Amino acid sequence: MSMLQSMTHKQRQKLRIVSAAIFFLLIAFSYMLIQLSLEKRASSKTTKWTPTPLDKAADSTKVYFGVYSLSITDLDLGSSSFQYDGYMWVRYKGFTGDSLMNEIELMNRGKDVSMVAVDTRDSSQFKYVAYRIQGTIATTYSLAHFPFDTQILTLEFESPIFEKNKFVFIPDTASFAQYDSGFVGLEHNLNVPDYDVINSQIYVTDHTYPTDFGLPETGVGRSLFTRAVFEVHVQRKFMPYLTKFLLPIFLMLAVTYLVFFIPPDQLEISIVICATSLFTAIGIGLLQLEISMHIGYLMTTDKFYVLSYIVIVFAFIETIVASNAAEKDMQMANLIHAWSRYIFYPLCGVGLFLIGLWDYITP
């Protein structure tokens, strides 16, 4: 304390400049880390399932499939679903049991979804069926990085009748030739509300069930099916969220900062400001309860709120310490306030940097 007390006005001014510079430098690093984490997830080619090589599939078992999406809307985090409208088709040559080939099952169908055959054609070379899919698709959202999250939306198809030894999905790559690179199966300039479409892909994966579904001739206790997957990667547009939720938090912290300019002996005013800021921060956090109430882990946005709670409690404790010191030594109380002004924003900056670093290093 004596070091600050002995400083000249010019030296204290330099200390304020250094404090502000540290804060803005940490803010810049935090923003850079967030951007790098967004770019890292946007460039990731990680798929929900592991693609299966198809080189060894016999021609008589191959079923070519394709997908064309007209719209993807209403990503509902609470019900883990989205609304889909589009087409899926299969093309195959005849083989034993081909009369049952029209049975293709959408594995992650949600409520009120329809999959209706809209075109069926037979020729000497192949059989063809096109389906129109409309309704709610079930999915699993990962919100650990919310509001900087990237989501994977899928349509997953299987034959409920034929195992892999008789039925193997093959992407109909010939029908994708005119698609935009990296956006296979999507309507041109398809818009997903509140999200940016990063890429899409079509692939096939093996799906094993630890049961023979009561048909021991298929392999006692085990079944192996081929699954067709259409996958879309989307990334949230986070700026609206920052404006609606996080900007009020930052403004509230700016108001909290004012308690360090209130005379230490006026404890009641400082307590009112800190208490109001804390309750406001909690209230803003409760506004996103519709999103987070089903989440059992901390999201990135929760860390912003936790940081604000810590900083406000710090201001709370400081005002009480300064007020108690003022009863014995007003000069000491003023020094506590002065040091708190220099520490407050760098402390916020350190917290933001740690949040940005966590967001970057976490997959």
C-alpha 43, offset from chain centre: 14
Q: Region 230-257: what's the mean pLDDT?
A: 88
pLDDT at 71 over 80: yes
d(Cα 50, Cα 45) in Å, to the nearest integer?
11
Say what the pLDDT of residue 205 is.
95
Q: Region 52-63: what's the mean pLDDT?
A: 82
Which one is predicted more confidently, 157 or 174?
157
Same domain for 93 and 203, yes or no, is: yes
Is the Cβ–Cβ distance between 284 and 245 less than 8 Å? yes
**Other beta carbons less than 10 A from residue 116's beta carbon:** 9
Q: Give the model's confidence band at 21: pLDDT under 50 very low, under 70 low, under 90 confident, else very high.
A: very high
Same domain for 303 and 356, yes or no, is: yes
Q: Which of 179, 212, 236 is the last residue of a domain?
A: 236
pLDDT at 57 over 80: no
**Other beta carbons less than 10 A from residue 319's beta carbon:** 24
Q: 65: closest CA among 199, 184, 182?
A: 184
pLDDT at 291 over 70: no
Same domain for 175 and 200, yes or no, is: yes
Q: Region 226-234: what's the mean pLDDT?
A: 95
Is the Cβ–Cβ distance between 264 and 334 less than 8 Å? yes
For residue 205, give its domain range. Answer: 47-236
d(Cα 356, Cα 21) in Å, to the nearest integer?
18
Mean pLDDT of the chain: 86
Same domain for 22 and 167, yes or no, is: no
Same domain for 251 and 351, yes or no, is: yes
Q: Give the model's confidence band at 1: pLDDT under 50 very low, under 70 low, under 90 confident, else very high.
A: very low
Give the domain CATH number at 249. Answer: 1.20.58.390
Which one is predicted more confidently, 356 or 214?
356
Q: Which of 236, 269, 297 is the last residue of a domain?
A: 236
Which one is predicted more confidently, 1 or 170?
170
Burial of 33 (0-12, 13-18, 19+ CB in 10 A): buried
d(Cα 304, Cα 298) in Å, to the nearest integer?
10
Same domain for 27 and 61, yes or no, is: no
Which one is predicted more confidently, 214 or 116?
116
d(Cα 45, Cα 200) in Å, to the nearest integer?
10
Same domain for 245 and 315, yes or no, is: yes
Same domain for 109 and 228, yes or no, is: yes
Is the Cβ–Cβ distance between 54 and 228 less than 8 Å? no
Q: Region 8-27: what's the mean pLDDT?
A: 83
Q: Which of 218, 236, 254 is the last residue of a domain?
A: 236
Number of structural domains, the chain? Answer: 2
Which one is predicted more confidently, 101 or 271?
271
Q: Region 220-237: what's the mean pLDDT?
A: 90
Q: Region 126-153: what's the mean pLDDT?
A: 92
Say what the pLDDT of residue 99 is.
55
State percent of the chain over pLDDT 90.
42
How do residues 295-329 score in pLDDT, each as one tens digit? 778 889 889 999 999 999 999 999 999 999 888 88
| Encoded tokens for 5 | 């007390």
Backbone phi, psi, residue 83, to 5°? -95, 135
Q: Region 33-52: what's the mean pLDDT?
A: 88
Is the Cβ–Cβ distance between 138 and 81 less than 8 Å? yes
Same domain for 189 and 207, yes or no, is: yes
Backbone phi, psi, residue 39, to 5°? -65, -40
3-class DSSP assignment, residue 79:
coil
Same domain for 350 and 280, yes or no, is: yes
Same domain for 157 and 171, yes or no, is: yes
Which one is predicted more confidently, 215 or 226?
226
Say what the pLDDT of residue 218 is.
59
